[in-house]
Amino acid sequence: MHFSYDLEATLTDEERAAESIIAQWRDRELKDDLYNAVIHDYFANFDKIKNSKVYEILEKMPKGAIHHLHSSAAPNIDSYIGLTYKDCVYFNERERLFKVATNGLEEEGYVRCVDMRRFSSSPEAYDQRLRDFIRMTPAECASKEEHAIWAHFQHKFTLTSDLVKYDKFFRIILRDILLACYKQNVFIVELRYIAGLLMGEERRPIGLKEELEIIEEVYTELKREQGIKEGEFHLKLIISGLKIIGRPHIQSTILQVIEGRTYSNLIAGYDMVNHESVTQPLLYFAPDVLEGKRKDKECLPCFFHCGETHERHNQNIYDAVLLGSKRLGHGFQLFLHPHLQQVVKERDICIESCPVSNLLLGYTTDLRNHPVRYLLAKGIQASISSDDPTFFGYDGVTMDYVMTYVAWELGIRDLKKLSLNGIAYSSVSEEEKKRLREEVFPKRWNAFIQEINTTYAQAL
């Protein structure tokens, strides 16, 4: 049965009317018999999509959660540009690397951004130049081949890494990420987070306890400043290890989950990241994961990246399921494994689908044929996430909803279900889920439907 069929009988006349209004906007702005915005070049159509009423409407739609979002690739790109106005930020154009040095830097190739900006034809031109280093460009994605694209993509994390390591900057970045999500009506943000890198003045390492306290502080301050009521906006961290560094690193990052939980309620569980087609399979790290599960009193909840590959023999989705992964990060290749689809359905495992990421990193060239669309038709559950929106030119997750809304021909029932899945498959407590599902969501959803039927209907 189709993944959202259970909602069919519950839809109100108002919801059906709203569905028709959004579809009319879609047909007017983004798709007709001769034109479809999502099958043309993403970069060329970006402004058109971003400025559409469909985008404006879906930005306001309540979204249960973003399940899959990497912290250093999540802020709006202008958050990074803003940091380059600080005196302590240097950039090496040849290496394409930022460096933060509060006491000055005498290292070959590194020039202070504020100085370079002064020597540029205009500050705007310099900022645009930096933006083009940070985000994926049309030229970098042009090959539409994952290995070629990843060579550029992986470097973006290195390029920005020093900016997010500095605790003062990290606070700004984290606040911007959370605020963008909150403004897009997201209730739960689950951040893939690489812990243990944060540094204070003069590159003083910051311990895990203090690091988690900083995150808690930023989150609490944002809730206070925005007047967010208790239980209406949640942050969770999925501590992530880098597969390329190897097993000792994976073992120590697994221990961060166990140790971190003694300091903070923010930690949801564990994941491992990096380009799946060229790094060790999950099976290679299975002994470390199993050891972590033995040590952890909560049995190390895992949220594994898996199936983000074209390789037929990649077994990571099988191993993710066998290791008890709560959700499947991307799960792109699940369509190749009919038996496993059955298991995923029976165990009620949710796919964290990241459509724009899959498009730009070369996993599909046409979102209408994205495998998750078929899996939804078979009754497998998914949620929508943005993975690395900084590098794709946006923040939050609205762009992914717009792209899938058009490409997958979603109805209001599907949008509602994707949003509710955000809550259902999140790692907040059962009590918090109940509050979100029964109190927060209905109120916001009804207001959203009403707004479509009034504000957006009149303009048609």
List of residues contacting Zn ion (CB under 5 A): 387
Judged by beta carbon, residue 42 or residue 193, the one nearer Zn ion is: 193
User: Min. distance of Cβ 271 from Zn ion in angstroms?
Assistant: 8
> Is the Cα dihedral 456, 458, 459, 460 positive or negative?
positive
Which of 18, 67, 63 is closest to 417 using CA atoms?
63
Residue whose tokens read 């730009």: 360
CB of 441 to Zn ion, least distance (A): 26
User: Which of 52/316 has CB closer to Zn ion?
Assistant: 316
Q: What is the residue type of 351?
A: I
CB 68 → Zn ion: shortest distance, Å?
A: 6
Q: DSSP per residue over 184-232, as a string?
A: TTEEEEEEEE--S--B-GGG-B--HHHHHHHHHHHHHHHHHHHTPPTTS
Residues sharing a CB contact under 8 Å with residue 209, sequence separation 6 or more, in sequence order: 263
Residue 195 beta carbon to Zn ion: minimum distance, rounded to whole angstroms: 16
**Residue 418 CB-half CA count within 13 A:** 29
Q: Which is nearer to Zn ion, 387 or 395 (CB)?
A: 387
Residue 59 or 387 with smaller CB distance to Zn ion: 387
In this complex, which beta carbon is closest to Zn ion, that of residue 188 or of residue 436? 188
Determine the Cα angle at 77 with ends 155 and 250, to 5°.
45
| Half-sphere exposure (Cβ direction) of 438: Cα atoms closer than 13 Å | 6
The residue number whose beta carbon is nearest to Zn ion equals 387
- Choose between 127 and 352: whose C-beta lies nearer to Zn ion: 352
Q: Which is nearer to Zn ion, 66 or 452 (CB)?
A: 66
Q: How far apart are CA 53 and CA 48, in angstroms?
A: 10
Nearer to Zn ion, 238 or 340 (CB): 238
Nearest distance from residue 416's CB to Zn ion, in Å?
25
| Min separation Cβ 238 and Zn ion, Å | 10
Q: How far is the CB of 450 from Zn ion (least distance, A)?
A: 35
Q: What span, in angstroms and rounded, lies between the C-alpha atoms of 59 and 61?
A: 6
DSSP letters spanning 240-262 = EEEGGG-HHHHHHHHHHHHHHHH
User: What is the rounded distance in angstroms from the CA atom of residue 242 to the CA atom of residue 273?
Assistant: 5
Closest approach of Zn ion to the CB of residue 182, in Å: 21
> Smallest distance from the beta carbon of 245 to Zn ion, in angstroms?
17
Among residues 92 and 161, whose Cβ is nearest to Zn ion?
A: 161
Q: What angle do CA 235, 238, 239 make, to 5 degrees?
A: 125
Two structure tokens written together for 136? 């994926």
Closer CB to Zn ion, 19 or 387, in the complex: 387
Residues 6+ apart with CB under 8 A from 260: 195, 208, 212, 237, 239, 266, 267
Tally of CB atoms within 10 A around 133: 17
Name the minimum Å distance from CB 301 to Zn ion: 17
Rounded to the nearest 10°, the torsion over CA 53, 55, 61, 65 is 180
DSSP string for 143-160? T--HHHHHHHHHHHHHHH
Residue 394 vs 456, nearer CB to Zn ion: 394
From the CB of 426, what's the least distance to Zn ion, in Å? 17
Query: Which residues sit opposite 112 in a β-bridge?
Result: 90
